[in-house]
Amino acid sequence: MNIKSKIINETIKSIDLLNEDYLKKARQRLDSLTKPKHSLGMLEDISSRIVAIKETVIPTIEKKAVFVFASDHGITAEGISAYPPEVTAQMVYNFLDEGAAINAISMQTGTDVYVADIGVNHDFPDLKDLLSIKISRGTNNFLKNPAMTSVNAVKSLESGIKIAEKSALHGYDLIAGGEMGIGNTTSAAAVICLCLDLEASEIVGFGTGIDKETWILKVETVDKAIKKYGKKNMSALDVLSSVGGYEIGGIAGLMLGCAKSRIPVVADGFISTAAACIAIKLCPAVFDYLFFSHISSEKGHKLTLEKLNARPILDLDLRLGEGTGAVLAFPIIEAALSVYNNMNTFEKAGVSGEKQ
Amino acid sequence: MNIKSKIINETIKSIDLLNEDYLKKARQRLDSLTKPKHSLGMLEDISSRIVAIKETVIPTIEKKAVFVFASDHGITAEGISAYPPEVTAQMVYNFLDEGAAINAISMQTGTDVYVADIGVNHDFPDLKDLLSIKISRGTNNFLKNPAMTSVNAVKSLESGIKIAEKSALHGYDLIAGGEMGIGNTTSAAAVICLCLDLEASEIVGFGTGIDKETWILKVETVDKAIKKYGKKNMSALDVLSSVGGYEIGGIAGLMLGCAKSRIPVVADGFISTAAACIAIKLCPAVFDYLFFSHISSEKGHKLTLEKLNARPILDLDLRLGEGTGAVLAFPIIEAALSVYNNMNTFEKAGVSGEKQ
């Protein structure tokens, strides 16, 4: 499917695979430091990748942000969620009041929190840290009609790209996408199934805590959606408009925009990984700029990460979303860079190397 | 075996199982916060446990330290290590020069680093942040004679307890034990096998990076030690003096001392877990005060953690020691407390709960 959007097409075109020279330089530096080779495992992978993303041999992180994209979902009419839909708007106020989990974790890790109303079924007044990018007051029930028009799917991606571009101008150099949207694990499951050709029952989970009966209904709902919209060589935009959510499009756009600006971008849990599926389907090279922060306890997340060949940083049984897992991984990423930048080399420290 | 040490016996006697009332209070608070119940997984377990350890409903962490216990090992004479023994002393200088991985990670996480010379085969001058608690210039080759006398095993435990007590006086309220000692994965493997009745081949790993041939020699070495010293109902002190290291005793003492002072104490990797085996064998209740920071890529670590019923916080293929994994887990622990202390309740935020 041809995307009628200059900004999306230009963004995709600008995202290159990482430069092998920088990866090699990073490897050399890491191997010169006072530790057995590769003994810092994933920390070494993280720092190498950031060297190559930022194309600098002194990679630093100065300013961190999480963007919580909030949106409502018409699919909640099918009774697939444990919480009523009005919780989406209530939680937006809670974020802005700094009372949610994402605020507490961001406070601890020195991360700025912004909330983007990309499709909440509520009119917010102007509020500090609230980005008003509402496309509509929520998606359609995708069992009846496509979740959104393709024009709106494009808009959601563009919104995310624009946020990444502004963030780069403001000096943010580590970014996470989070989300809030009652019903969005159902939408995300459908997105993942259509992107990766998986079965509903493999991917649908218990979301915020539904019972077994509701889970069966949720599987059926996603199954129906796959049957209704699934087709060979379905484009990312088709998937997004058929069963997606505005927040999923927004996060996918954020990922693309960050990659364009050479900013490492951290995926959160299940919804965020659905967004990554869209972003990767649009532009496979974006994968190199993505860090998968954690493996959530939402049923299908593990399999999805495996299919994407993504190794998550944390595994803490989180299933909250909001960006919590992503921001929790920030200190690990920063520690990886501190190791890279601040350790002595064998030579400088006068430490003997391995026996020959 | 009766331990002839007032300080050890009093410490063990003073360590109580956690108070169930505090665990219940913590659970109630966590369930009142604006998130689905249990949706923050391990973060909720961590904060509950710290509430009960500190016996306060407003648990905070103000000051963090890692103590790197350094010691040499006579067993290196058997040729079981990839690095020459003089690296132990060289690395102590590197720690004090702030050039090692533990320094870089501690810098990033706001952790004070202290180095304890508990048995390095080198005479250090007086240096800032170096605690001189040398017992001797390294252990004996335990294939020939017990690694240390039982008097020295007691001394190593006492040293760790005393460091914990001083730390409490200085206001440290989150503590990790780290280590440096060429040869100590061999000693730790033997300690673990004797404590948990495991086979050498299940537990011995590749340490700092030995080849397959050296690994076979290392397995044989530990196997011989098990045959030489192993007996029914072997006491923790017997294990420590037969095949242990001073740093292993020091860390075990640190764990006991922290528990006595109600300070959460974080185990690092393989060596630190061997120390935990000693501490738990001396006093099973200490387990409640211990956080296992990560599962290292050292072969036997996973099985050891399983046997201890310990769930590690991170899994990043680290195999460096020094306390690196423990200090890397500090921000996760702090984020868990930030969630506990700073989130809004459903009531305060006016957010709807689950549908009935």
Q: What is the pLDDT of residues B84-99, one digit of tens each?
A: 999 999 999 999 999 9
pLDDT in tens, B223-253: 999 999 999 999 999 999 999 999 999 999 9
Contact between A40 and B90 using a beta-carbon 8 Å cutoff: no
In chain A, what residues touch B33 (CB-CB under 8 Å)?
Answer: 101
Active-site annotation holds for B322: yes
Residues in chain B with CB shorter than 8 Å from the CB of A311 are: none
Q: What is the value of pTM for the model shown?
A: 0.97
**In the predicted structure, residue B154 carries a pLDDT above the cut 90:** yes
Q: How confident is the model at residue A355 (pLDDT cuts 50, 70, 90)?
A: confident
Q: Say what the pLDDT of residue A353 is.
A: 86
What is the amino acid identity at position B335? Answer: A
DSSP state of A345: B
Nearest Cα of chain A lies from the Cα of B8 at a distance, in angstroms, of 35
User: Which among A93, A339, A345 is the top mutation candidate for probing chain B, defined by the most B β-carbons within 10 Å of its own β-carbon?
Assistant: A339
Q: Best interface-test mutation with A: which of B295, B316, B328, B341 has the largest number of A CBs within 10 A?
A: B316
- In this prediction, residue A288 carries a pLDDT of 98
Q: Do B354 and A209 touch (CB under 8 A)?
A: yes
- With beta carbons less than 8 A apart as the criterion, state whether B3 and B237 touch: yes
**What pLDDT does residue B1 have?**
54
**How many CB atoms lie under 10 A from the CB of residue B311?**
15
Q: How many helices (H) and strands (E) does chain A have?
A: 15, 6
Q: In the structure encoding, which two tokens stand for residue B143, read together?
A: 């294939």
B280-313 pLDDT per residue, tens? 999 999 999 999 999 999 999 999 999 999 999 9
Nearest partner of A51 among A31, A30, A66, judged by Cα? A30
pLDDT tens-digit readout, A164-220: 999 999 999 999 999 999 999 999 999 999 999 999 999 999 998 999 999 999 999
> Are residues B33 and A105 in contact, defined by beta-carbon separation less than 8 angstroms?
no
Closest chain A residue by Cα to residue B322: A35
* Residue B83 DSSP class: S
Q: What is the pLDDT of residues B248-285, one digit of tens each?
A: 999 999 999 999 999 999 999 999 999 999 999 999 99
pLDDT at residue B158 above 70? yes
CA atoms within 13 A on the CB side of B269: 29
HSE value, Cβ hemisphere, 13 Å, CA-based, for A266? 35
Handedness of CA B22, B110, B294, A309 (dihedral sign): positive
Place of tokens 């929520």: A138
Quick check: A318 and B39 CB within 8 A? yes
pLDDT at A336 over 90: yes
**Which pLDDT belongs to residue B233?**
92
Segment B104-111 mean pLDDT = 98
pLDDT band at A1 (very low <50, low <70, confident <90, very high): low
Q: Which residue of A has its CA nearest to B314?
A: A314
Tell me what the mean pLDDT of segment A238-246 comes to. Answer: 98
In this prediction, residue A354 has a pLDDT band, given cuts at 50, 70 and 90, of confident
CA A328/CA A174 separation, integer angstroms: 13
Cα–Cα distance, A37 to A31 (Å, whole number): 6
Residues on chain A touching B324 (C-beta within 8 angstroms): 40
Beta bridge partners, B70, equal B117, B180
The question of ipTM being above 0.95 is answered as: yes
**Average pLDDT value for residue range B57-77:** 97
Out of B44, B179, B298, B322, the active site residue is: B322
- Give the mean model confidence (pLDDT) for residues B159-181: 98
Identify whether the C-beta of residue A66 lies closer than 8 Å to the C-beta of residue A114.
Answer: yes
What is the pLDDT at residue B259?
98
Percent helix, strand, coil in chain A, to 5, is 55, 10, 35
Which residue ranges form the domains of chain B, and what is each CATH number? 6-59+340-349 (1.10.1610.10), 64-330 (3.40.50.10210)
Within 8 A of A100 by CB-CB distance, chain B residues are: 34-35, 343-344, 349
Residue A105 has pLDDT above 70, yes or no: yes
Neighbours of B228 (CB within 10 A): 14
